[in-house]
Amino acid sequence: MATGSRRGGGRGMPPVRVLVVEDYEPFRRFACSALEKVRKHTDGQVS
């Protein structure tokens, strides 16, 4: 049984870009904050 990721070729997962689109600013801030805790970076925001 293989333990590596097929998409990453055993080198880890490829980068994933995230664009947060939300009109309600408090929820947009929450979503970006939650993503930054996991990813350490948010690629963009749109309101």
Q: What is the pLDDT of residues 1-47, one digit of tens each?
A: 444 444 444 567 777 788 888 999 999 999 888 888 887 666 666 66
Burial class (CB in 10 A: 0-12, 13-18, 19+), 16: exposed
Does 5 reside within a domain?
A: no
Does 25 reside within a domain?
A: yes
| pLDDT on residue 19 | 84
Q: Domain of 26?
A: 17-47
Structure-token pair, residue 12: 């880890």
Does 12 reside within a domain?
A: no
| pLDDT on residue 7 | 46
Does 35 reside within a domain?
A: yes
